[in-house]
Structure 1
């Protein structure tokens, strides 16, 4: 790969210029992250003919907004501030091959829409939405201190018609494990396109709900007709047993997972009391649902259809966790007054994501737990009363499986997931033929992670962007704003 940076070396009288050779600067692929200065954005290597205790190296950063960067550091060197479009480091050099990691500390005014430019190359900028041990501003401990959460997982995001980004996720207070646990649905908002994020608050809490045992795995959508933001989440059974042990033929909170919705009419600032829609979605009077133990959301993001129908992607788990697992839809045709569910997709799957195509049909893409390690795609023209399998170029999923996200922007579909055998290599791919074939894509973060992501369309200054909220490890969530035209 060509050098992403231009590096020049400045030598003292005791060191001849020929002592250093073979300089290589290779980007790691990781974004520079606001609020973190410990993420290597490039690797610098060169050969030295002799040892030197202090060698000066100069990094050319022309094209980077100087106000976006506090300083750069190379290995353990002191943080070098930007002066005259450059940063100069003093580092020890050993005879032979030398390797240093390059780090960037960004300013508070750095923007996710303004990448670092070094020698004509671009390094994307990400913002932090959640971080380890972050305090929840509306939850206090008995001693009066704000309660903090050890972990955060399972993101969902929308942009409202007013331009507010509303992000939801699990607040996993005590550990990173799934329901049942001390989990609530958290929310953070951004009014500047993802550059900065509000303190975390609670959108849905299980404390006031019958049964307890946590509520999470949220999905989110916005109704453009009234700017109402809806969140749907799953509450663990009263008995405390795992969700996968939910029973068929009942909506009893002691026997199966419970499905709740809540809404916000003020850009995610405050939320309605959650409403239980388990009976509406599980439909016990319908023979089609006889083998449904639990139906719940995607997770991630839902959509509003052209006719106003609100749709969340869904998944169905069989009795006591046994087969069948299926993808499905949970939807409302009256702007959230009532909710119902589709028939199960007969092609398997679990966690799902959905888009509406230009012809009005819906494309449902699901995580597949058995057989080939590729995603499963189905299409419906009647809100899931019937399904047709769609053959596509393979969309890989990691060996331990993972959620994914899909989005439609104009005539382009965008897909996000870990594109490797493990949960790493977070990748955006695109399709211009309704999902039949997919591009190779771009890696937006190569590092190991928890793997879940969520997408929203953004348009700024006449350009289309994809907003990406994704998990780092089980505590960090990051946000990037990536131009649609960059996805190859």
Structure 2
């Protein structure tokens, strides 16, 4: 494998031309973080993010908002309420990840449901009424995200005998289009699993992170989101995770390193996310411990089409700091990667990349809880992608 560092893309003075979708101090919330993006076809794009009272993670007040584009990200409508915070009842929602099922037309948005505790001190349990449990939910829309029906998936995601808590990785899930599991929906998660004989810690006052290992897994559905199952967990120190379908229908998983060793971890599934082959650290991916995004360059390309092997990746290309937001591409199912361009030369937190129509791509990213930025990048502006 080659290193992305061998031929780095030039670092520009300014970000690529972009639209600011949210700015601190403007709109319905004081701060904004954590991004999700989906292209529904015919130019319809949804962008979601946390609205935050303080900029800090839950249990600080947080709700979900979205904006809508009808022309492939060239222009955007006003803020829409995705899932409102319940301030009186102190019910908070964060970490949006969209998933579009083209067969049914449904759109899903996975997200975290918190009350009095966040990921670091939540206790084990599946009762969403327990204020010390950090739960997980999914919304389903059959009208392109204009209205939503929400339900809990906490019991599926976080059985107390296995893990203390888990949350969906923000960004975007995928639908498999090739192979034996074509049509399957997958949403990536990370969880804090019990290690050895530590057992579940479900009492207030326990030290929640003692004897735990952070691992990745997916929820999957074979019935267009009517029901969901949890796949096997993989790895150690596999934190927030992104996934993509390869040309043969297998799934590549690419995870933030919880130990923050300066690179990312990968795994591959040959059975649609039900089990994984852990491939450890991939030195091609320089990363400071940040959420990133994998995506198919041509998601509808059939198996055997060379375009089915083309992948995209966005992330912060630095071992120690969340800076230098970089778009990288692979033409061989993720075996090797090269940098295409630097879309954000300065601070970069979470990012999402998705294929749009006519070979264009959309990149959504956050800058220090100050701004949420979106760029539509045309095919001719993507040399070597």
TM-score range, shorter chain: 0.7 to 0.9
Distance 1:387 1:177 in 2: 33
Aligned pair 1:375/2:254, yes or no?
no
Summarize deviations over 1:202-229 as a string: whole Å, max 9, x none: 11124299x6341101111111012211
Alpha-carbon spacing, 1:246–1:195, altered in 2? closer, same or farther (3 Å): same
Partner of 1:326: 215
Summarize deviations over 1:377-403 as a string: whole Å, max 9, x none: 0001123332112364420112xx211
Distance 2:375 2:47 in 1: 13
Distance 1:393 1:413 in 2: 17
Distance 2:71 2:41 in 1: 14
Distance 2:36 2:241 in 1: 13
Give the 3-state SS of the residue equivalent to 2:99 in structure 1: strand
> What is the Cα deviation at residue 478 of structure 1?
1.0
Summarize deviations over 1:28-53 as a string: whole Å, max 9, x none: 4424xxxxxxxxxxxxxxxxxxxxxx
Q: Say if 2:365 and 2:373, in contact at 8 Å, map to a contact too.
A: yes
Summarize deviations over 1:357-415 as a string: whole Å, max 9, x none: 111111111111226321000001123332112364420112xx211111112321111
Partner of 2:278: 389
Output aligned runs, 1:38-117, within 5 Å: none
Aligned pair 1:408/2:296, yes or no?
yes
> What is the Cα deviation at residue 424 of structure 1?
1.3
Partner of 2:142: 265
Summarize deviations over 1:296-323 as a string: whole Å, max 9, x none: 2111100111222111111112452342
Give the 3-state SS of the residue equivalent to 2:183 in structure 1: coil
Partner of 2:166: 295
Output aligned runs, 1:197-276, within 5 Å: 197-207=76-86, 212-236=90-114, 238=115, 240-248=116-124, 250-251=126-127, 253-272=130-149, 274-276=150-152
Of residues 337, 342, 355 in structure 2, which corresponds to 1:438?
Answer: 337
Aligned pair 1:452/2:330, yes or no?
no
Q: Say if 1:251 and 1:282, in contact at 8 Å, map to a contact too.
A: no
Give the 3-state SS of the residue equivalent to 1:279 in structure 2: helix
Give the 3-state SS of the residue equivalent to 2:238 in structure 1: coil
Partner of 2:6: none
Distance 1:192 1:443 in 2: 24
- Calculate the aligned-residue CA RMSD, in Å: 2.2
Distance 1:149 1:432 in 2: 41
Distance 2:137 2:170 in 1: 13
> What is the Cα deviation at residue 454 of structure 1?
0.7
Q: Say if 1:260 and 1:276, in contact at 8 Å, map to a contact too.
A: yes
Bigger Rg, which one? 1
Gaps of 5+ in 1: 1-25, 32-123, 136-147, 285-289
Of residues 54, 74, 80 in structure 2, which corresponds to 1:175?
Answer: 54
Give the 3-state SS of the residue equivalent to 1:389 in structure 2: strand
Q: Say if 2:186 and 2:273, in contact at 8 Å, map to a contact too.
A: no
Q: Say if 1:181 and 1:213, in contact at 8 Å, map to a contact too.
A: no
Distance 2:140 2:284 in 1: 36
Distance 2:125 2:57 in 1: 24
- TM-score, normalised by the number of residues in structure 1: 0.66
Alpha-carbon spacing, 1:214–1:249, altered in 2? closer, same or farther (3 Å): closer
> What is the Cα deviation at residue 197 of structure 1?
1.2
Partner of 2:364: 469
> What is the Cα deviation at residue 466 of structure 1?
1.8
Distance 1:357 1:27 in 2: 30
> What is the Cα deviation at residue 487 of structure 1?
4.8
Q: Say if 2:315 and 2:325, in contact at 8 Å, map to a contact too.
A: yes
Partner of 2:5: none
Alpha-carbon spacing, 1:482–1:431, altered in 2? closer, same or farther (3 Å): same
- Count how many residue pairs are aligned between Structure 1 and Structure 2: 343
Distance 1:310 1:408 in 2: 15
Q: Say if 2:64 and 2:93, in contact at 8 Å, map to a contact too.
A: yes
Distance 2:237 2:269 in 1: 15
Distance 2:240 2:257 in 1: 8
